[in-house]
Amino acid sequence: MLGRVPYQPTYAAMQDFTAARNSETPDRLWICEHPPVFTLGLASRAAHLLDTGDIAVVATNRGGQVTYHGPGQVVAYPLLDLKQRGYFVKEYVYRLEEAVIRTLLAFGITGHRVAGAPGIYVRLDDPRSHAVLAQGPKSTTPDFTGLGKIAALGIKVSRHCTYHGVALNVAMDLSPFSRIDPCGYPSLQTVDLSTIGVSVSWQEAADVLGQKLVTYLSP
């Protein structure tokens, strides 16, 4: 657990760790919280930054679009050697999402995947419902009707090694999300555990997410 740390030095440290590691370097899992910051993925477009105001904007080399990090959000950075772990990027993404889904389930919430839109979503009308989404897993156009995004995912893989990761919204000021098109989708609603009726501390959520990541990212 790194606690609350500035984004840019943490990003630089991930890059340095990954560049310096070799086949003998142990994997790491960094869990932290960041002061307010908008981060841009490689696919980001300026049009998705609506009103950044006094919040810093940092361009990164992760996949995906623009997102927001801030207090009350658990950010997890798995620094893994996928070659040593024995699985590829597509499975890595699935395992990351599964860890978030299992974390939500520990708090009585059902998380959902949306085809073509990495991350985890919840039903706004009934976050505890296990009903399968109408949208099938092979849909080509994401349908966010009735959904809120509770966890964002953005990764980078270099020489089989991962960095960046996943962010789970716990109890945060969600208003900065209205100043961007989250993950490049206009009007995509963002939620946290607090707004869907789950009162849990940052530390408790971080502990559970950390445990689930260790389990579901195991070789």
- What is the domain partition of the chain in residue ranges? 3-216
Look at residues 61, 31, 66, 16 and name the one whose alpha carbon lies nearest to residue 157.
Answer: 61
Q: Which of helix, strand or coil describes residue 84?
A: helix
Alpha carbons 53 and 124: distance in angstroms, whole number: 28
Q: Establish how many alpha carbons lie within 13 A of residue 111's alpha carbon, considering only the half-sphere containing its beta carbon.
A: 25
Q: Point out the catalytic residue in the list 183, 188, 208, 213.
A: 183
Per-residue pLDDT tens digits of the chain, which is 219 residues long:
899 999 999 999 999 999 999 999 999 999 999 999 999 999 999 899 999 999 999 999 999 999 999 999 999 999 999 999 999 999 999 999 999 999 999 999 999 999 889 999 999 999 999 888 877 666 668 889 999 999 999 999 999 999 999 999 999 999 999 999 998 998 899 999 999 999 999 999 999 999 999 999 999
Known catalytic residue at 32: no
In angstroms, the Cα distances linking 205 to 16, 55, 160 are 28, 25, 29
**Matching CATH number, 3-216, of 3.40.50.2300, 3.30.930.10, 3.30.70.20, 3.55.10.10:** 3.30.930.10
Q: Which two tokens stand for residue 122?
A: 């919840």
Alpha-carbon distances of 9 from 12, 165, 169, rounded to whole Å: 5, 16, 22
**What is the Cβ-side half-sphere exposure of residue 149, based on CA atoms within 13 angstroms?**
28
